[in-house]
Amino acid sequence: MVEGTPGRPLTMLGVGVVRTPAEAEIGQRLLLIEQGLEQWLDQYDPELVAVERVFAQHNVRTVMGTAQASAVAMLCATRRGIPVTLHTPSEVKAAVSGNGRADKAQVTAMVTRLLRLAEPPKPADAADALALAICHIWRGTANNRIAAAVASQPRAREYRR
């Protein structure tokens, strides 16, 4: 959870990672993820939830797990009326490091620096979550304003031939 506005120092309010037993059935794992996210939402009551946009990778199993966890996060937020926004991994990396192909070490170093943390967030997934929040604060608000402006424009009249 990160608080801030573009152009101003950012503040980490909290960070955590929901872990599930690898040997648990998929339904049980998703339930544990939901319970962890619901506790997090109860504790922090965010204005918005940013989720990583899942894209095809070579490892289908990893993609499926990430997509399922992302869907649970979107469901939990939407159930509470909290807006959800999606950002691609390369968009997040570019936002925090200036390089859409940055590695985990670069992202972690920049997150630590941008949030003025005494030490890097642990585990590495925590740094990824914070990077996603930073990305949304810096880019999402501009994207939302652009989308709202486009939506408010009168539509061109359609002509039939």
- Residue 84's CATH number: 3.30.420.10
8 Å CB contact between 91 and 131: no
Give CA–CA dist 101/99, Å, rounded: 5
In a domain, 69, yes or no: yes
pLDDT tens over the chain, length 161 residues: 999 998 899 999 999 999 999 999 999 999 999 999 999 999 999 999 999 998 766 777 778 888 999 999 999 999 999 999 999 999 999 999 999 999 999 999 999 999 999 999 999 899 999 999 999 999 875 555 554 455 566 655 554 54
- Host H or E run for residue 84: strand 84-87
Give CA–CA dist 146/15, Å, rounded: 29
**119 belongs to an annotated ligand binding site:** no
Paired tokens of 118: 């005494």
In a domain, 86, yes or no: yes
In a domain, 94, yes or no: yes
Report residue 152 CA to chain centroid gap: 27
Q: Which of 103, 125, 128, 158 is catalytic?
A: 125
Q: Which of 42, 52, 91, 103 is catalytic?
A: 52
- 51 DSSP β-pair partners: 86
In a domain, 42, yes or no: yes
The tally of domains found in the chain comes to: 1
Known catalytic residue at 128: no
119 CB-near residues (< 8 Å, 6+ apart): 112
**103 belongs to an annotated ligand binding site:** no
Known catalytic residue at 47: no
Supply the range of the domain harboring residue 63.
2-141
In a domain, 159, yes or no: no
